[in-house]
Amino acid sequence: MNSARILFSKPWIWSFAATVIVWVVTVLFTGGASSLGLSQAALTFAAFSVIVGIGQMFVITLGPGNIDLSVPATMTLSGTLALKLMDVQDSMIVVGLLVSILLGFAIGIGNYVLIKLLRIPPIIATLSMSFIIQSTAIWTNRGLRIKPPEVLANFTTSSLFGIPNIAIVALILSGIAWVLLEKTIYGRWISAIGQSTFAARMTGIPVDGTRLVTYILCAILASICGYLLASFSGGAALNMGSEYLLMSIAVVVIGGTAVAGGNSNIPGIWGASLFMFLVVSMLNTYGFGAGFRLILTGIIIIAVILVAGGRRANR
Amino acid sequence: MKISSGTIRLIIPAASLALLLAAVFYMQPRAMSYTGLNLLFNLAVPIALATVAQMLIMAVNDLDLSMGTFVSFCACVAATFLQSSPAIGVLILLGAIAAYAAIGVVIHIRELPSIVVTLGMSFVWGGLAVLILPSPGGEAPGWTRWLMTSRPPFVPMAIVASVVIAVVTHFLIMRSSVGVLIRGVGGNVRSVERAGWSVIRIRAGTYALAGFFAVLSGIALVGLTTSADANIALRYTLLSIAGVILGGGEFVGGKVSPIGAVIGALTLTLAGSFLSFMRISPDWQIGAQGAILIVVLALRLFLNRLEKREKSR
Amino acid sequence: MPGVCRTTNDVSRMNDVTARPEVVAARGIKVTFGAVKALDGADLVIHAGECVGLVGHNGAGKSTIVNVINGGLTPHAGDISYGGNVGQHGISAARANGVRCVFQELSLCPNLIVNENARIMHAELAGWNWRAKALALVERQLREIFPGHGIDCDSTVDDLSIAERQMVEIAISFAGLHDRPKLVILDEPTSSLDAGLAAQLMAYIRRFVGEGGSVLLISHILGEILSTSDRIVVMKDGRVVADRPASEFSTRTLVEAMGNVVREKEWLRSSDKRGGTAALSMPARRGHGLPFEAHRGEMIGLAGLGGHGQTEMLLDLYLSRNGNWWPARKGEIAFVAGDRSLNGTFPLWSILNNLSIASLGNLSSRSIVDQGRETSLGDGWKKRIEIRTPDMENRILSLSGGNQQKVLFARALATTAGIVLMDDPMRGVDVGTKQEVYEILRSEAANGRTFIWYSTEMDEIRLCDRVYVFREGSIVAELVGNEITEQNVLAASFSGGEAA
């Protein structure tokens, strides 16, 4: 009884409940035949949203106005650049990953330099940055589609004990992020900054340093995701990141992270990511056209927020 | 004479627009004509209207991420229903405005983050647009076509319309007693509430007004392009936000400027033409737009600092 | 208090007043927030033509009953009537019955012009020339309350000083286009005003009351309450514990009625601790005045009129010794905020997290926070500074204002910092809490901690070893030991001669 109440006071429980319902509804339609394939697909595609979602969540935790719109462009550039560099050679896999991470590092710094130097809201700074990154990606890509190294491609598309490797990677990254958020000083700091930047500054928290690290973290996660996604889908495409702009924000909020900042949670990102994928596949299964699918996706997002937001309002 | 801080906020966007215009004229002197100006600012009208709509939402400390899909939706309605059976078209658009008001109410009552609700709505509007026009097509109603392509004497339509939009919205939002309430909600909700106003109604009204301007934007867009498709205005979401910011508006605190927003929209429109005059490789067109945005904002920061130094002296 | 003429027959005036019609009557009001009884059967009746002073500690229920009267809060039990009519309640009903309220925190819209703010407060300002009407209304009222104010009513509120904002808000509340307000509630109206402006306001209150209006005055400055009110209501623990004519009270009896008998202990100043190198120093501000210096174990007061550069100096001292990009290797300096909601508490967090945030470096190994050590730190300080809560895991906002302030003190004192900066931290804190904190400060200073204490209250300045008096952004006088007297501080704050 008491544990049930604790469970229901968690903001992430709603996204998981919704996920289970959608999963059941979809599986019921196919008479249970698709349950394994559906779950695997859901885990794989959710994993990509989870990786970018975690980065976005750290940024959103920093408080009102903090958001990273350069996520999709970063993914695209990272995927393009890494594949070009690796040039189908298995020996370059690690180098490619390192370059991706380095790229994320640089973009994160670039984002924060713009925010800090120009004193502009992050939404505009990261948007301007994303234009530049996107152009660089177009310039690098030149319409060529380079395949990923075979080992990497196999790794991203296979699974271990039935769990897709990508999902395992995302799980490990989530674990690290959880420790970072819940157990470390850094986690306390970003939460404090999200609640009141000035108060955080006056308790000795190095606000700019912490925010810089957070933007770097977000960009690195986006880079890693771009690297994995490009390898998974057999090559980088210029629009491969585009759907992750709205997705990365949607999963954070549906997952129960406070948009006002200071309060975040990682399990919710998983719930929300699984949910977002399952909704689309459920609508596909039921044979809805693209228009209906979009409308229903939107309505469900709003409905979930209404339920979850209501909980938050009662706090 | 003391210059109000609102006027100072306008100087920067106006100066950036003038600078950009001068650069364009320098590179392409032929643009300095009736036809040239018309071409340069042709697409400014729908962008300006969408920017004003976004500005209204930002005046009450919210942000509308569905602006692009909503304008697309309105354009689709305008190119189909409004053209074939005007009564139904008008009803649909009125319904859309009512939906905007409803969104405002929901956001207010449940204290939801506007970014997320409008994010959800962007899917809804996008889906509706796809349902109405699964493939590009439709036809602009004759009167919008006439209005948008009319050629008033001396000054091109795009500029006349922009001035009209700026003046009308300035009176509505900066001068009228209703506009004060809208900006008051952005500045300090509690004080408006304590003064006995219904903030729900103000917010609903603001959203409805924003919806109205966005509908006008969709109609104007169709008037220019003659046909529509479901993705016609997707970039308006980011353009409108950038336009408000370029025009000296702020994300929170009810600090907005309708004249600035229109100028911001004109600047963004001009930036596109500027880049093609510069013969920048298409690869870098988007990047250069980002760079222009950064330069203008840097300029604004610099001038703000200058002003502050003057003040403290 | 100048400008207020007291008649000798206060009691008979009282009797006249009670015969007048009721403007607002709240009877048997009960309000609970969770387990906390904010109001426990409180009665408050205000008649036409009287000024009622309302005093009580933090948590006594003053703000709550104000919120009930102005319609912002619906009581769980009890009746509220406006002008004798029961049954209507809410913000609009209160306003329709002429009740206006000036809140403790400033509540203008900072992005609007002064006259636009008047439009927000006065719905009847509409139509084509509403701007001219609003301007005339505000300017007339400002002239009437604060003659010679010098406020430009065409400027944005953002551009006004805090005192000017408070003046504007007060003026807008007293103004009326068609009807003047019947009751104006003033919650700490003089908190940002200097003595001259406060006196003008008090004088105006008397005129307003004399013309038949009513005022409910809440202030921690008992002198204001005593000289301006006709009647004083004392609240304690959600009830009214005394309700008598002002003439029957004195400062001492008021404090007694509030429930805390404060005996001013003369505390022995330790010997002069100056000597050796300074623990903290700063050259003269803005190139004139005296330099600042602090030594180990000293308690240094920053005095002078409010807003003359004390807070700015504290911020400079703090920020210059605290990186914004990299955590300070070892925290040598801590800060106690005065404005809790602005730069003090983290509202989403528990009391414990709020307390430990500044000392996380000492509570963790390899950046991982040791929760056991954190809890024991919290329990230790809960006992030492007496934070009144059943559980340190409760949210910080479940505490009363005074207890939240204690948490902020504990946050600073729990660090290893040798220097503690305090930015008027006792603002709006009840007397009991103050005494408890003073004790702890003394013992900490005896252990070698340096305190730099900006305070607007003379009693606190007198506790210091050494006092710097500020005027117009720089230090104009240094007082040591027995030189620290109200007279000396005032003389330095106001003196017009050469500063250095």
Chain C contact present for A6, CB below 8 A = no
Ramachandran angles phi, psi of C47, nearest 5°: -100, 165
Q: Are C113 and C154 in contact (CB under 8 A)?
A: yes
Most confident of B63-72, B295-304, C88-97, C421-430: B63-72
Distance from CA of B172 to the nearest CA of A (A): 27
The residue among A153 and C267 whose pLDDT is bigger is A153
In whole angstroms, give the CA distance from residue A18 to residue A20.
Answer: 5
Q: What is residue C4's predicted lDDT score, i.e. its pLDDT?
A: 44
Q: What is the pLDDT of residue B58?
A: 93
Nearest CA in chain A to C331: A204
Question: Does A106 contact chain B (CB < 8 Å)?
Answer: no
Is the per-residue pLDDT at C215 higher than 90?
yes
What percent of chain C is predicted at pLDDT more than 90?
Answer: 9
Distance of CA A242 to the CA centre of its chain: 12
Q: Enumerate the residues of chain B whose CB falls inside 8 A of the CB of residue A290.
A: 127, 130, 134
Rounded to whole angstroms, how far apart are CA atoms B209 and B53?
Answer: 7
Contact B256, B38 (CB under 8 A): no
pLDDT 10s digits, B177-219 = 899 999 999 988 888 888 888 999 999 999 999 999 999 999 9
Closest CA to A127 of A70, A71, A75, A58: A70
Classify strands C231-236 and C77-82 as parallel, antiparallel or unpaired: unpaired
Interface probe, candidates C119, C120, C131, C155, chain B, greatest B C-beta count within 10 A: C120
Report how far residue B186's alpha carbon sits from residue B192's, in angstroms, rounded to the nearest whole number.
10
d(CA C273, CA C466): 10
B261: domain CATH number is 1.10.3470
C341 has a chain B CB within 8 A of its CB: no
350-379 of C, contacting A, C-beta below 8 A = 353, 357-358, 360-361, 364, 367-369
Residues in CB range of C485: below 8 A, 6 or more apart: C462, C479
Q: What is the pLDDT of residue B203?
A: 94
Can you give the pLDDT at residue A213?
93
State whether residue C494 sits within 8 Å of chain A by CB. Answer: no
Q: How many CB atoms lie within 10 A of CB A174?
A: 19
Task: List the single residue in C with minimal CA-CA distance to B190.
Answer: C107
ipTM above 0.85, yes or no: no
| A204:C328 CB<8 A | yes
Is 90 exceeded by the pLDDT of residue B37?
A: no
CA distance A95 to B187: 51
The lowest-confidence range among A274-283, C241-250, C275-284 is: C275-284
Residues B95-151 have pLDDT tens digits of 999 999 999 999 888 877 787 788 889 889 999 999 999 888 888 888 888 888 888
Residue A30 has pLDDT above 50, yes or no: yes
Number of domains chain B is built from: 1
Q: How does residue C226 score in pLDDT terms, banded at 50, 70 and 90?
A: confident
Average pLDDT rounded to a whole number, residues C20-47? 83
Q: Which chains touch B (3 or more CB pairs under 8 A)?
A: A, C
pLDDT at residue C305, rounded to an integer: 66
> Residue B157: pLDDT above 70?
yes
DSSP character at residue A147: P
pLDDT classification of B5: cutoffs 50, 70, 90: low
Average confidence (pLDDT) over B265-292: 79
Distance from CA of A64 to the nearest CA of B (A): 10
Higher-confidence residue: B136 or C38? B136
Mind listing the pLDDT tens digit for each residue in C119-177?
888 888 887 888 888 999 999 999 999 988 888 888 888 888 878 888 999 999 998 87
A99-120: average pLDDT: 91
* pTM of the predicted protein model: 0.77
- Structural tokens at position C189: 């109206």
* pLDDT for res C59: 60
Taken as a whole, chain C contains a residue count of: 500
Predicted pLDDT at C265: 45
Maximum mean pLDDT: which of A159-173, C270-284, C452-466:
A159-173
| Closest approach of B290 to chain C, Cα-based (Å) | 27
Q: Is C309 helix (H, G, I), strand (E, B) or coil?
A: coil
Three-class SS state of B294: helix
Query: What was the pLDDT predicted at A257?
Result: 77
Cα C429 from Cα C422, distance rounded (Å): 14
| A72 CA: distance to closest CA in chain C (Å) | 28
C461-479 per-position pLDDT tens digit: 888 888 888 876 788 888 8
pLDDT attached to residue A32: 67
Rounded to whole angstroms, the Cα distance separating B108 from B189 reads: 11
| B61 phi-psi bin (left φ>0, alpha ψ -120 to 50, beta other) | left
The whole-number average pLDDT for the span C33-43 is: 76
How many Å separate Cα C498 from the centre of its chain? 32
pLDDT score, position C87: 73
Alpha-helical runs (H) found in chain A: 2-8, 13-29, 35-61, 71-86, 93-118, 122-141, 150-157, 165-182, 185-195, 197-202, 207-232, 243-254, 267-285, 290-313
Cα B85–chain centre separation: 28
C28-57 burial string, b = 16+ CB within 10 Å, else e?
A: ebbbeeeeebbbeebebbbbbbbbbbbbbb
On whether the CB atoms of residues A170 and A55 are closer than 8 A, the answer is no
In contact, C486 and C493? CB cutoff 8 Å: no
Which of B83-97, B106-120, C364-378: highest mean pLDDT? B83-97
Assign C497 a pLDDT band (cuts: 50, 70, 90). Answer: very low
Task: Determine contact: C416 vs chain A, CB below 8 A.
Answer: no
Do C120 and B254 count as a contact with CB atoms less than 8 A apart? no
Q: How many residues would you count in chain A?
A: 315
Q: B13: burial class by Cβ within 10 Å (0-12, 13-18, 19+)?
A: buried
Domain assignment of residue B100, given as a range: 5-312
Across chain B, mean pLDDT equals 86
- B2–C152 CB contact, under 8 Å: yes
